[in-house]
Amino acid sequence: MIRSIGIVGAGVAGWMAALALRRALPGARISVIETEGPDWSLGPFGPGEASLPGLESWLADHGVEEGALLRAARGGFSLGTAFSGWAGQEADWFLPFGTIGAPIGTVAFHQLAARLRAAGHPLRLADFSLAAIAAASGRFARPSPDPRSVLSSYGYGLHFARAGLAEVLRLASGLATAGRFRRALGDAGITAIEIEDGAQVSADLWLDCSGPAALLAGRLDSGWESWSEWLPCDRAVESWNEVEGVPPPYAHAGAFEGGWQRTVPLVGGQSGALLYASAFLAEQPGAVPIAQGRRTRAWTGNVVALGAAAALVEPLHGHNLALLQNALTRLISLLPTAPDGPEPAEYNRLTASEADRVRDFAILHYKTNGRAGDPLWDQARAMPVPETLAHKLDLYASRGRLPVYDEELFDPEEWIAVLDGQGVRPRRHDALADAIPEPQLRAHASRIREVIVDAVRGMPHHGATLREEGLLA
Amino acid sequence: MLVGRILVVGGGTAGWMAAAALTHKFAGTKLAITLIESAEIGTVGVGEATIPHIRHFNATLGIDEADFLAATKGTYKLGIEFVDWGRKGDSYIHPFAQFGDPVDGVPFHHQWLATEGAGAFEDYSLPIQAARRGRFRRPEGDPYNYAYQFDAGLYARYLRTYAEARGVVRREGKVVDVALDGESGFVRSVTLESGETIEADLFVDCSGFRGLLIEQALHTGYEEWTHWLPCDRAIAIPCANSGPLAPLTRAAAKQAGWCWRIPLQHRTGNGHVYSSGFLGDDEALEVLLEQLPAEPLADPNKLRFVTGKRRKQWVGNTVAIGLSSGFLEPLESTSIHLIQVAIGKLLDLFPTGDWDPLDAAEFNRAMALEYERVRDFLILHYHATERDDSEFWRHCRNMILPDSLAYKLQLFRERGVVVQYREGTFLEPSWLAVYLGQHVTPRHPDPRAGGQGVAAALAAMRAEIAAAAEAMPRHETALGMGA
């Protein structure tokens, strides 16, 4: 039975963990211990962070008011991510938060789209997504709860400064830090942490939220699986850029010869992260090395590694917060009850498989890139990929089908949006799509477009929504 | 070669379900569907009880529920009652619904385990409480789900009418020869006893256990699971109805197997599934007859089977559906469901004419997973027992489990956690019903469970469920059968 929990790292991961466990185990003593340096608990990927849809309900369940969070963290809303330079040096596409098109019966929209393309009607999937069209026109309103409305066909993420997010999570937890980390004690497991005044903090269970440094998990035999053979970026440079005006309601990932640049727009500025492969680009000022991969056993002994201490994967999407959120939910449902119980094994099985699926999703962006002539990208296109991803790519290329494994963070629709955006075209489409007469298909597609364009026309501008909620002067 | 002609070999439930679904999906196209069946070859039709997925199948075909129930003498089904499984004298029900609601964010079953005096686990299931009272009401929204029990022969006939009205051509005859293409190994044609040859592009093998195409012509091979599921014989016999019509299938464990009882509107289906290694055929018949609730209406029908699955269910241009693809005893009423899953996957991966081997590979992968997950769930029923009264049960208790199941069982036994997966027929509530129904009690429930106010919340839940069950009409009334 867990009576006390120690958390090392007082950043986003540490405070999110503190809040979640405070709720789950109101009787337990929770000690949060600060560490040196910037908050890299989710990785050194910029002072701003982005979430996927789903965080807002977690926040609400944990007593964090969305408006208060955004005000404290210069935040805004997100409808997806714009990708430029990935499908080709001059090609852009958009990954929206929400559905794309609508099926006819059991025939998926991308199968209908493939049939239309085969019949000589070119189209772009994102043009059938409300989130994508609204993002392109700078509009945002929260989705409608009415499932019959097209305004319920999308979700939203949040953009925020990580310092503001950490502070709001801390306030909600009602805790203060117990001191500053000096060193960890114990050999086989962690017996205590010595803090700067020389005092020792003890706990039954330790959460390592110290980022890539992995101050606790790194001392134990927790193993590390490197993904560097598939994800070539091994340097990151964080930046902050003051900007006036209304932040766009989407993040941006722009590929270039040596890597890519992430931009998360906030009120008053842009959070940036430059990710590049040191073999292909000269050392950049301010660069820190990153090692992408995951811990073999995120839970080892009495230490559970969370956030970037457990897995480091480049932030193409807002998955780092989502992985943390899922890890906390999983940990709470598997809190240890007895010595040598089965909980760590099950936790590690689920955590590893979820991380590996996100790894596959990240590799997908490299493997299917269309930047011919850039050595980094040519190599990435030619590389062998993990079998799980190869199977997906084969099936998709064959007929647009996408097998779904257990513990997938991303939906098939999101995989398809990336594949289609990158220009991967299945050789065939489903036979059932051929059973639908072509005029009916064309009418179906036009009607979806009309309904979406009409709905977007009625949506407020992102700036108007931010102003209305007091998030923008 | 575009798929223009489909030949379904074999009528019965599988054949007519496949023909009906295919003709519905490809309505308005030039696809020609022919089904060959022989009146001389009987159908097995053990699976008269279903799980809720059948409702989706019928709804997709546009079948009206009342019309279907009248035509198939069908009844409603809220779950399966398992008698004498964990211990002699036990009875528990596996419903199609979750138990209770989480309290304080902690899963219900942990709260129940941690609360003294919380009553029986089944007190927290509305469909179980309704079933115990012989009551039924179609759910509004989805607080619970339901399935049907029906005469599989009548269902096949019903679907035959449906399919024939929509262009499926039925041919009477017995297949005596199968011609393969020398180069591709694909099935080219079948020859009937009359000497007539029928060609097709896609063959659906619904010929039953013998697998006329998939095995006899294509020699695909079979993976046996008898070391985990030792039953290999069944005797079926119908009897008259007696007493109120239960909205339940009943599965009562016996000394070397189990007996089913499936109430229909006009009769009750009964059968005994047993292991010939532990029980003789004559004794097995005695066991069946002595527990019949009323007079038999026909002679016993004896069946032999080998539990397992065909190594591949889609080979070349032949797809095996139904008993030709494998057999899992109907303990959890999955026979018709597995037919339905195969049809769904065939439609999803319907060949486009270039016969990309990936289509078959994906079909085979997905069906294998489906079979294995049902298999594990069935093994659990036999293994999680305290019965020590026969050689058969001692064998089941001590058998070596598949790793996938051993892990699941250990995690529940230690910690009360049900291993979750994305695809599979039986999800958490089903596993909970069987674990707790067969005395697999977690040593350590969730440490968050049992807080203040939980007992009161549970009491309120029980009371609400009991009242809702009491307010339902009798099963017969819900079926419009009068008394």
The model's pLDDT over B314-362, given as tens digits with 9 standing for 90+, comes to 999 999 999 999 999 999 999 999 999 999 999 999 998 889 999 999 9
B56 shares a domain with B16: yes
The rounded Cα B93 to chain-centroid distance in angstroms is: 16
- Going by pLDDT thresholds of 50, 70 and 90, the confidence category of residue B451 is confident
B41 and B132 in a single domain? The answer is no
ipTM computed for the complex: 0.91
Query: Does any domain span residue B414?
Result: yes
The H-assigned helical ranges of B117-264 are 126-132, 152-165
Q: Show residues of chain B in contact with A427, CB under 8 Å.
A: 354, 356
Domain boundary among B338, B368, B398: B368
Let me know: does B52 contact B147? Beta carbons within 8 Å. yes
pLDDT at position A239 over 90? yes
CB contact under 8 A, B105 and A24: yes
The answer as to whether B166 is a domain residue is yes
Give the model confidence (pLDDT) of B15-36 as tens digits: 999 999 999 999 988 899 999 9
- Residue B309, beta-bridge partner list: B223, B326
Q: What distance in Å separates the CA atoms of residue B86 and residue A146, rounded to the nearest whole number?
A: 47
Q: End of a domain among B344, B368, B392? A: B368
| DSSP element (H, E) containing B361 | helix B357-383
Interface of A with B in 52-111 (CB under 8 A): 106
Q: How far, in Å, CA of B215 to CA of B130, rounded?
A: 45
Identity of the residue in A335, A404, A405 whose CB atom sits nearest the CB atom of B447: A335
Are B351 and B316 in contact by the 8 Å Cβ rule? The answer is no
B44: pLDDT confidence band, cut at 50, 70 and 90? low
- Which residues, 6+ apart, have CB-to-CB distance to B96 below 8 Å? B51, B52, B78, B79, B127, B144, B145, B146, B147
| Same-domain status, B187 and B157 | yes
pLDDT level of residue B246 (50, 70, 90 thresholds) = very high
Does residue A309 carry a pLDDT above 90? yes
User: Does B204 lie in the same domain as B172?
Assistant: yes
- Check: pTM over 0.80? Answer yes or no: yes
B363 with B381, same domain? no
Distance CA B328, CA B138 (A): 29
Lowest mean pLDDT among A1-5, A48-52, B210-214: A1-5
**Is residue A112 a contact partner of residue A444, using CB atoms and an 8 Å limit?**
yes
Question: Would B464 be classed as within a structural domain?
Answer: yes
Whether residues B133 and B192 share a domain: the answer is: no
Model confidence pLDDT, tens digit, residues A143-174? 999 999 999 999 999 999 999 999 999 999 99
> Which one of B30, B73, B77, B345 is the catalytic residue?
B77
Mean pLDDT (chain A) is 96
B38/A382: higher pLDDT? A382
pLDDT category at B45 given cuts 50, 70, 90 is: low
Identify the CATH number of the domain in which residue B44 sits: 3.50.50.60
Judge whether B386 lies within some domain: yes
Residue B179 and residue B38 in one domain: yes
Q: A343 to chain B: which residues are within 8 Å by CB? A: 415
Residues B156, B67 share a domain:
yes
Q: Tell me whether strands B175-180 and B187-192 are parallel, antiparallel or unpaired.
A: antiparallel
What is the per-residue pLDDT across A343-396, written as a single tens digit (0 to 9) for each?
999 999 999 999 999 999 999 999 999 999 999 999 999 999 999 999 999 999
Tell me the C-alpha distance between B250 and B332, whole Å.
10
User: What is the end-to-end Cα distance of chain A in Å, rounded?
Assistant: 50
Range of the domain at B200: 5-74+150-223+307-368
The reply to whether B132 and B157 lie within a common domain is: no
How close does chain B come to A1, measured CA to CA in Å?
Answer: 7
Tens-place pLDDT, residues B89-145: 999 999 999 999 999 999 999 999 999 999 999 999 999 999 999 999 999 887 899
Confidence band, pLDDT 50/70/90 cuts, at residue B482: low
Contacts of A412 (CB under 8 A, 6+ apart): A402, A404
Q: Is residue B213 part of a domain?
A: yes
Size of interface A-B (CB pairs under 8 A): 89
Average pLDDT over residues A20-31: 95
Q: Which domains does chain A have, with CATH numbers?
A: 4-468 (3.50.50.60)
Residues B138 and B156 occupy one common structural domain: no
- Name the helix (H) or strand (E) containing A13: helix A12-24
CB A250 within 8 A of CB A154: no
Shortest CA gap A24–chain B (Å): 7
Chain B residue numbers with beta carbons less than 8 Å from the beta carbon of A338 are 414, 443-444
Same domain as B31, residue B46 = yes
Smallest Cβ–Cβ distance between A399 and the set B60, B347, B352 belongs to B352
Read off the pLDDT of each residue in A273-301 and give the average, rounded to a whole number.
97
Residue B481 lies in a domain: no
Residue B388 has pLDDT above 60, yes or no: yes
Residue with tokens 């011919």: A372
Looking at beta carbons, which residues of chain A come within 8 Å of B349?
Answer: 399, 401
Q: What would the DSSP string read from start to end of A401-460?
A: -----TT-SS-HHHHHHHHHHTT---S---HHHHTS-HHHHHHHHHHHHHHHHHHHHTSP
Is residue B286 included in any domain, yes or no? no
**Closest-approach residue (CA) in chain B for A330:** B417
- Does residue B348 lie in a domain region? yes
Which string of b and e fits B82-94 if b means at least 16 CB within 10 Å?
bbbbbeeebebbb
Question: Do B52 and B185 fall into the same domain?
Answer: yes
pLDDT at B353: 81
**Number of domains within chain B:** 2
Q: Please report the sign of the dihedral spanned by the C-alpha atoms of residue A191, residue A196, residue A199, residue A203.
A: negative
Alpha carbon B380 to chain centroid, angstroms: 16
Q: How confident is the model at residue B1 (pLDDT cuts 50, 70, 90)?
A: very low
Mean pLDDT of chain B: 94
Task: Confirm whether B174 is a catalytic residue.
Answer: no
Give dist(CA B326, CA B337) in Å, integer. 13
Answer yes or no: do A394 and B358 touch at CB < 8 A. yes
- The domain boundary residue, chosen from B328, B345, B368: B368
B350·A432 Cβ contact <8 A? yes
Q: How far apart are CA B175 and CA B205, in angstroms?
A: 12
Q: What is the pLDDT of residue B43?
A: 63
Question: Which uninterrupted H or E stretch holds A17?
Answer: helix A12-24
Work out whether strand B308-310 and strand B301-304 pair parallel, antiparallel, or are unpaired: unpaired
Q: How far apart are CA B258 and CA B83, in angstroms?
A: 9
